[in-house]
Amino acid sequence: MTLIITIINIYRVKHKINDLYLKERLEKFSPEVPYRLLISKFPRFADVTLHYHDCLEFNIYHELKGKVFLDGMEFSLADHSLLILPPGTMHSYLIPSQKGEMLIVQLSLKDLNLYLNTEQVTQTMGIFWERIPFFTQRSEIPKLCYRLMEKERYDLPDFLFWVLELFRAVALLDNREMAVKPSQLELSWLRKVINYTELNFDRKITLNEVAVEIGFSSAYFSRLFKKNTGFSYWNYLQTVRLERAAELLKQGLGVSETAELSGFQDVSYFIKVFRENRGLSPGQYKTNQ
């Protein structure tokens, strides 16, 4: 725990963020910088929308309470200090306002492939992402994440050295720690829902429309979505729209235009739910950026 506290204290000022999913979306990977190093604080309730990445992600929790939903399973953050998210893992968070913090390290395997064959390297090391445990109590991985957080930019050989060390630590994980995971095929419908929603959230969407898109009845889809995520599809859709609205306000768009482009047909309703979710009106949020 001392190590985690040290990490948080060193990087509190440089990397402090509040809107976790928004920050991830705005900071893009590139071949020059194939990683993201973030710290998220939670001064107010955080409803991080359901999403997934093509990158490998490590989350280190410091005195953090709340829930995380991983590929249809619910876990308490209070019971864990380190979470590994293999590429493609669907996840969302419900985190109440508190002093706890989250350290995030993300590695873009796609961009790393320009320098080393990550598939060949990981397979040679015996790493198969579907077998990697979600949670582990091992101390070596947080230590390596700390080393990655020491710099904002790396010389390529130095960075690749630490990436390979991190892969080595992952290869040594005890699979007995792993929660029983559903197969990628079992949850392929949920990925379709995420992709369809992110392409169409800016217009009116009906529950039946989404259900038909994935081949389910609306009643079955509604039950299945809540069972696998912990919240209703309407709650998920509204969270996606609010995340987009926050992104547009950061870009300087007006409140009415933001509401329309985010899929809110009523500006007054948009202002109401945005204030409830962010603790500020859209105008105040825009000004504070």
Question: Nearest 5°: CA angle at 30, between 19 and 81?
Answer: 45
The pLDDT tens digits for 144-190 are: 887 777 766 667 788 888 889 999 988 888 665 555 555 555 678 98
Q: Is the pLDDT of residue 257 over 70?
A: yes
> Hey, which of 48-57, 126-135, 264-273 has the most confident mean pLDDT?
264-273
Q: How many residues does the chain have?
A: 289
Residue 19 has pLDDT above 80, yes or no: no
What domains are defined for the chain? Answer: 2-177 (2.60.120.10), 188-288 (1.10.10.60)
Task: Calculate the average pLDDT of the chain.
Answer: 81
The arithmetic mean of pLDDT across residues 118-130, rounded, is 86
Please, which residues bridge with residue 100 across strands?
A: none
Residues 199-225: tens digit of each pLDDT: 999 999 999 999 999 999 999 999 999
**Confidence tier at 35 by pLDDT (50, 70, 90):** confident
Cβ neighbours of residue 209 under 8 Å, at least 6 residues apart?
Answer: none
Distance CA 226, CA 262 (A): 23
Query: Which has the higher per-residue pLDDT, 249 or 73?
Result: 249
Q: Which two tokens stand for residue 117?
A: 């064959």
Q: Return the percentage of the chain with pLDDT > 70, whole number.
A: 84
Two tokens at 75? 């876990």
Q: How confident is the model at residue 57 (pLDDT cuts 50, 70, 90)?
A: very high
Expressed in angstroms, the distance from the first to the final Cα of the chain is 33
The pLDDT, as a whole number, for residue 171 is 87
